[in-house]
C-alpha cells in the first residue's frame, strides 16, 4: 500500500523578478524518513526551504500536506500545519539560559506569573527524550559548544510537536565530535517518526543519515537517489552536472576506499 508523504511538492516554481529560482520542483518527505536536499551554491536550496517555511509563497505548483492540497503563504501557516524549520543561524539568545531559549515566545505561566518550575521540568524531559546533554539547564547558551547549541535549537523546534523538521546546514562549522552529536539527534528524530528534510553540503553527513537524496541544479530537479544503492560519485555528478571531472573522480576514489574498509 502506497505511503502518503507528510509533505509533497508538485511542480513548484518561484521567480524573483527576472530570476527563475525554482522551476517545476518535485519533492516528497515521509514520516520516519530523512531526505537530504543537496546542490551547489545558487541551486535553489534556500529558496525551497523558505517556500516550505512560508517565507516565500510559491508562484506555481501544488503543495500537499498529508495528501491534501494546502497553501503556505506565511510562516504561521507552516507552523500550524506542523512544519518546524531550524535555520543555520539558530536564532538563539546567547545571554538567556537553555530553558529560556527553549520556551522563548512560548512561555508557560500560571496566574500571570512565569512558571519556571514547569518549564524546567518540561525542558529536562524533552532533552532527556532526545538524549541531549548540556552542563545545566540554567547555563547561558553562549557557554555551550556548537553541537550543544544546535541541539538546543532543534529541541526548541519540537515543542510544537511538528510532523516535519527542516534542518538548514545543521553541521556547518562544527567539529567532528559536535557533528556526530547532531547526526545522532537526526537519527533520533527519525526514530520518533518525524519527517526530516536535511539541507547539507557535507556528503559524509548525507551518506551517514539520509535515506534519500534530492539534488537541485539551477533551480530544477536533477535526480532523486537512494543512499544505500547510490555511490557518492553519482550524487556529486548530479550536483555538478558533469559526468567526469576532478570532483567526481575524487569522490569516486573516496567512495571506493570507504567500501574497501567496510
Q: Is 118 in the same domain as 226?
A: yes
Q: How far apart are CA 186 and CA 192, in angstroms?
A: 10
Give the residues across from 215 on adjacent strands.
38
Q: Is 132 in the same domain as 169?
A: yes
Give the pLDDT of residue 20.
96
| pLDDT tens-digit readout, 96-154 | 999 999 999 889 999 889 999 999 999 999 999 899 999 999 999 999 999 999 999 99
Place of cell 513548484: 12
Q: Is 195 in the same domain as 68?
A: yes
Q: Is 257 in the same domain as 164?
A: no
Q: What is the CATH number of the domain that holds 212?
A: 3.40.50.300
Report residue 248's pLDDT band, with 50, 70 and 90 as the boundaries: very low
> Domain total for the chain?
2
The whole-model pTM stands at 0.87
Instruction: Please give the helix or strand (H or E) that residue 68 lies within, else none.
Output: strand 68-70
Decide which of 111 and 2 is more confident.
111
Classify residue 244: in a domain, yes or no: yes
Q: Is 183 in the same domain as 196?
A: yes
DSSP code, position 135: S
Could you give the strand order of the β-sheet that contains 60-65, starting from the edge strand earlier in sequence?
19-29, 7-16, 60-65, 68-70
DSSP code, position 211: S
Classify residue 66: in a domain, yes or no: yes
Q: Is 236 in the same domain as 221?
A: no
Give the pLDDT of residue 89.
84
3-state DSSP assignment of residue 262? coil
Q: Is 184 in the same domain as 251?
A: no
Q: Is 37 in the same domain as 133?
A: yes
Q: How far apart are CA 254 and CA 165, in angstroms?
A: 30
Query: Are the CB atoms for 149 and 170 separated by under 8 Å?
Result: no
Mean pLDDT of 175-198: 94
Domain that holds residue 247: 232-262
Classify residue 2: in a domain, yes or no: no
% pLDDT > 90, the chain: 80
Q: Is 118 in the same domain as 248?
A: no
% pLDDT > 70, the chain: 92
Q: Is 159 in the same domain as 217?
A: yes
| pLDDT tens-digit readout, 211-247 | 999 999 999 999 999 999 999 989 999 999 865 554 4
Mean pLDDT of 27-44: 96
> Which grid cell is 31?
514520516
Q: Is 95 in the same domain as 223?
A: yes
Instruction: Return the closest-CA partner of residue 218 out of 3, 13, 10.
Output: 13
Report residue 88's pLDDT band, with 50, 70 and 90 as the boundaries: confident
Q: Is 106 in the same domain as 220?
A: yes
Report residue 210's pLDDT band, with 50, 70 and 90 as the boundaries: very high
Classify residue 1: in a domain, yes or no: no
Q: How far apart are CA 168 and CA 188, in angstroms?
A: 17
Report residue 91's pLDDT band, with 50, 70 and 90 as the boundaries: confident
Amino acid at each position: 500500500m502506497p505511503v502518503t508523504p507528510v509533505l509533497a511538492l508538485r511542480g513548484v516554481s518561484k521567480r524573483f523578478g527576472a530570476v527563475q529560482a525554482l522551476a517545476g520542483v518535485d519533492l516528497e518527505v515521509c514520516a520516519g524518513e530523512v531526505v537530504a536536499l543537496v546542490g551547489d551554491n545558487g541551486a535553489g536550496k534556500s529558496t525551497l526551504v523558505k517556500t516550505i517555511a512560508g517565507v516565500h509563497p510559491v508562484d506555481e505548483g501544488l503543495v500537499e500536506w498529508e495528501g491534501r492540497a494546502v497553501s503556505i503563504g506565511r510562516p504561521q501557516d507552516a507552523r500550524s500545519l506542523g512544519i518546524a524549520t531550524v535555520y543555520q543561524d539558530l536564532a538563539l539568545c546567547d545571554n538567556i539560559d537553555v530553558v529560556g531559549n527553549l520556551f522563548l515566545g512560548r512561555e508557560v505561566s500560571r496566574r500571570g506569573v512565569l512558571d519556571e518550575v514547569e518549564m524546567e521540568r518540561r525542558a529536562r524531559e524533552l532533552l532527556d527524550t532526545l538524549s541531549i546533554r548540556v552542563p545545566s539547564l540554567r547555563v547561558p547558551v553562549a557557554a555551550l559548544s556548537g553541537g550543544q547549541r544546535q541541539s538546543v535549537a532543534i529541541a526548541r523546534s519540537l515543542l510544537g510537536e511538528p510532523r516535519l523538521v527542516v534542518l538548514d546546514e545543521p553541521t556547518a562549522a562544527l567539529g567532528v565530535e559536535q557533528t556526530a552529536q547532531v547526526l545522532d539527534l537526526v537519527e533520533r528524530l527519525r526514530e520518533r517518526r518525524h519527517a526530516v528534510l536535511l539541507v547539507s553540503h557535507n556528503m559524509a553527513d548525507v551518506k551517514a543519515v539520509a535515506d534519500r537524496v534530492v539534488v537541485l541544479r539551477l533551480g530544477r530537479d536533477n535526480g532523486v537517489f537512494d543512499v544505500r544503492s547510490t555511490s557518492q560519485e553519482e550524487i556529486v555528478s548530479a550536483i555538478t552536472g558533469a559526468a567526469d571531472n576532478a570532483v567526481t573522480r575524487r569522490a569516486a576514489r573516496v567512495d571506493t576506499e570507504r567500501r574497501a574498509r567496510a
